[in-house]
Structure 1
Amino acid sequence: MLQELFKAHSVSYTLPSIVGSVVASIILGLLVATVYMYRNTYSKNFVITLATLPLLVQLIIMLVNMNGNLGTGMAVLGAFSLIRFRSVAGNSRDIATIFWAMGVGLAAGMGYIFYAIFFSVVVTIYLLILNSSSFGNRGHTAERELKITIPEDLDFPGLFDDLLKKYGYDFSYDSVKTTTMGSVYELSYYIKLKDVKDEKHLIDEIRVRNGNMPVVSSKLSSQTNEL
């Protein structure tokens, strides 16, 4: 059965088959978007794009496949995806979901509605199980952005490195800027805390070293895509 899926063939489209493929693409596109929204930070534009992408890919595949040349259809689809998505910075979950949506559209456009539904159900169940479980969690770790204010007369290079190493698995220095007419500096760091419960202790030790000036620790928001 699976061998038939990869054999070259021409598809004869009829009105019922086109309507069925369109309906399947719409329903499965909504499924992809809904699963993506589960326990994830997202933008409305990106979710709408995910819901629409299977239908758009299906239409492209159908139009080219009507000429009996599936290879050309894949080339057009590849060019389409590269043109639109090459400049979009996304995380791994965004990229996986885009591939899923494109796969649904490809299967529907080729007439494999059953495969599109079957594999979408499998992927949905699989993703929900992974997202609901502790798989991939790293204990009580957390990523934070630290903004530390120091007086201008304080030599800041390496000033807090020992504290960041003490409380974090990893950290990186991001930027420095002057504020209040140059009388103070604001340092920005990214840190992966070993234990989120130690966040207060880290801030307290930083305050001792920077003269009790403001320290801001904020969560890193998940990157959202505007497509």
Structure 2
Amino acid sequence: MGLFISIIYIKTRGKEGYSHGFTVTLIMLPAIIAIIILLVGNNIARAFSLAGAFSLIRFRSTAGDPIDVSYVFFTLAVGLACGMGYIAYGVLFATILCMAMVVLSITKYAKPKVNTMQLKITIPEDVDFQNCFEDILEQYTQSYKVQRVKTSDFGSLFEIVYVIQPKEDFNQKEFIDKLRCRNGNLCIILNTKISDDMVYL
């Protein structure tokens, strides 16, 4: 069911962009929550202990990648099972979910086939940035999305930031040269590695 939800999430969020780590988390969480609820049941003491453990995780550690947070909850669920004496259940749960994560890692589930890059283009204020670079971007990229537009130098310049996924035969120099002809040879920055892991379809 988590896999089904994850696939629907990818299909419906493809244009706006989705996080690879979050798609894997959607697969892990239903199994983790199910085993925790199964172990806690109607026992109020166990529920309060679990709430205390979640509070320690939430307030004593920095939130990282969604997959990392899921692994923390996964480990907590296995520890809870073993602490309650259900060691066989803990081993079985850990084995099944670890095998699922290995399969997802080998198949590179929801990962982009090409690296995502960030493109910053500076243009004069009299250039129509909405229709200026679309043909070049369509020629050299599989997908692109405007991330941000801002003014600089007291409004005399615009800076447009794109997130692009280049094609396999991507020629960086040729791509930048064509952009320079359109932006009046102003500054162009192409970051080959960006901090977020958003994927755009």
> Under TM normalisation by the shorter chain, which class is it?
0.5 to 0.7
Q: 1:121 to 1:163 in 2, by over 3 A?
A: same
Q: 1:149 aligns with which of 112, 122, 138?
A: 122
**Which segment is superposed worse, 212-221 or 189-198?**
189-198
Partner of 1:184: 157
How far apart, in 2, do the equivalents of 1:134 and 1:115 lie?
A: 28
Q: What is the deviation of 1:153?
A: 2.0
Paired with 1:155 and 1:138, the residues of 2 have a C-alpha distance of 31
TM-score (ref. length: structure 1)? 0.52
Partner of 1:171: 144
Matches of 1:95 and 1:173, distance apart in 2: 29
1:137/1:176 CA distance change after superposition, 3 Å: closer
Percentage identity across paired residues of the two chains:
35
CA shift digits 1:29-79 (9 cap, x unpaired): xxxxxxxxxxxxxxxxxxxxxxxxxxxxx9xxx9xx7xx943663477469
Q: Residues 1-227 of structure 1: matches in 2 within 5 Å?
A: 69-70=42-43, 73-74=46-47, 77=50, 81=54, 84=58, 92-117=66-91, 119-120=93-94, 123-124=97-98, 127=101, 131=105, 138-139=112-113, 141-195=114-168, 197-218=170-191, 219-222=193-196
TM-score under structure 2 normalisation?
A: 0.57
Instruction: Give the total of aligned pairs.
Output: 157
- Kept in 2, the 8 Å contact 1:193–1:199? The answer is no
Task: Pick closer, same or farther for the CA change 1:198–1:72 going to 2, 3 Å.
Answer: farther
8 Å Cα contact 1:142/1:195 also seen in 2: no
The secondary structure found in structure 2 opposite 1:169 is: strand
Superposition CA RMSD, Å: 3.9
Does structure 1 conserve the Cα–Cα contact (< 8 Å) formed by 2:147 and 2:161? yes
CA distance in 2, matches of 1:222, 1:77: 31
The aligned amino acid for 1:104 is V
Query: In 2, Cα distance between the equivalents of 1:78 and 1:178?
Result: 47
